[in-house]
Homo-oligomer: A and B are copies of this chain.
């Protein structure tokens, strides 16, 4: 396997970039928002929340897991999806206030300044 170009950068930059990358797709944000807006974890089909095919959504879920932002534990025939507090705290430490974000998702207006 040839050396990846990203290895040319500091580890700090690489890690930070990976976190932002995980947040860089509307489907993944929608999933995070959905889980963040609930009191408890969600047991069921996240597919129905996201306007994409089930397989694709699963792929996005896998990426969120990989980034440590959500957890999925199998319970019987269903899977229980939760935010991963550690991952969210990591965001907070990086200056990304997840709650602020969630709030802004709902009423964020882009205006040129």
Give A contacts to B, CB under 8 Å.
5-6, 8-18, 20-21, 23-30, 33, 51-52, 86, 89-90, 93-101, 103-108, 110, 112-113
Nearest CB of chain B from residue A102's CB, rounded to whole Å: 9
Q: Which residues of B contact A24 (CB under 8 A)?
A: 17-18, 20-21, 23-24
Copies in the complex: 2
Q: Which residues of B contact A17 (CB under 8 A)?
A: 23-26, 28-29
What CA separation (Å) do A6 and B28 show in the bound complex? 11
Q: Which residues of B contact A14 (CB under 8 A)?
A: 26
Nearest CB of chain B from residue A12's CB, rounded to whole Å: 5
B8 touches A108 (CB 8 A): no
Q: Which residues of B contact A105 (CB under 8 A)?
A: 10, 12-13, 16
